[in-house]
Amino acid sequence: MDFKIKTNNVRSFAMHTLTQFTGCTNSLKKIGPVKNIGQIAICRTSSKLEDLLLMSPLLKELSNTYPTANIDLFVKGSKATEIFKNYNNIDTVIELPEKSFQQPLEYLKCWGKLRRTKYDLVINADKSSWLGRIAVKFTRARFKLYGDTLSESAALIFSDYKHAAKTSVYDFRFSVSKDGIFEWNDKVPNLDLKLDSSEMSEGNRIFRKIAPAAKKSICIFTYEEGEKRHSAEWWEEFYQKVRGSFPSYALIEILPTEKVSQIGFKAKSFYSSDIRKTASIIANTSIFIGADNGIMQLASATKVPVLGLFITNPERYAPYNNYSSAIETNEDSIDNIVELIDTILHHRLN
């Protein structure tokens, strides 16, 4: 672990310790029912693709609950503007610079903008984020949710409460419902990039150039970092078995920014720095297969079935849209994974 990572870890631990009780007195007190909501802010102070995408179910939940409300996003970096461009109820995206020490004036301006606006409801979308808790505390709002209203014991009612996309939705439902009563069985909204028809058509056009003869395709992403990484040998065996098991499907590999391939570029490949263009390609395929990373969550947000390949427990980040699944590769053989792919494709076709 290099010095920069160690420093960031120490800083995060220290700030989490100092801010873990910020807002607790207020947040543990039932505030619902929450009515007459016209202006909302969501704080998710991360620039990671996956973290921003995992915020989309909360956005959809708020839109369903308060269809006429405007929503501001307080985030880090510029990805959120692109990700949520087709969400009509988003008013302003306040983008903290990713390197705050290099742009101190811009950083302070963002906090000033958050403070100037009077909100009806402000939500911290990640209860473990110390900066998110501070941001909620800093706002002028009628109602403030810090992300920990629903206690751990109450959360046991939901088998999927710990999922990174669902925790904030359940917490919101509990906070704003009368006496904490709501439809326990209501499904949490799926991740959604809201690709429009023109984007889907463009994705189909590019797809036809990549695999002109293919009617059906399997999309893979072989790049992972650190402990999530599968070896090149693992991917090679996987690729050969998938190709042999599904001969009528074209295999398309989405390449990372590094433009590397764990299968030696044996499959048709595609790379773009444009998030939405990449998503439009994935959306035109039959299934996406990849490890726990931002591209897997991007695929999930296109509504295509996703098979997540996890080395560690998939509880927090497993894809959950229609027919999607997650598998721990340390516990299942590649043959079992191929069988699961076949099951997902069968459901998709029927």
Provide the residue-wise pLDDT of the chain in tens; the chain has 350 residues.
Answer: 454 444 444 344 434 444 444 554 444 345 556 788 999 999 999 999 999 999 999 999 999 999 999 999 999 999 999 999 999 999 999 999 998 889 999 999 999 999 999 999 999 999 889 999 999 999 999 999 999 887 776 677 888 989 999 999 999 988 887 665 566 668 999 999 999 999 999 999 999 999 888 889 999 999 988 888 899 999 999 999 999 999 999 999 999 999 999 999 999 999 999 999 999 999 999 999 999 999 999 999 999 999 999 998 899 999 999 899 999 998 889 999 999 999 999 887 66
| pTM, full prediction | 0.88
Q: How far is CA 148 from CA 35, 170, 200, 219, 313, in A?
A: 20, 10, 38, 37, 23
The predicted pLDDT at position 348 comes to 72
The backbone region for 194, taken as left when phi is positive above 0, alpha when psi lies in -120 to 50, beta otherwise, is left
303: left (phi over 0), alpha (psi -120 to 50) or beta: left
Sequence-distant (6+) residues with CB within 8 A of 199 are 276, 277, 279, 280
Predicted confidence at residue 215, as pLDDT, reads: 84
Q: How far apart are CA 237 and CA 136, in angstroms?
A: 48
Neighbour-count burial of 200, counting CB atoms closer than 10 A to its CB (0-12 exposed, 13-18 middle, 19+ buried): middle
Is the Cβ–Cβ distance between 298 and 56 less than 8 Å?
Answer: no
CA–centroid distance for 42 within its chain: 15
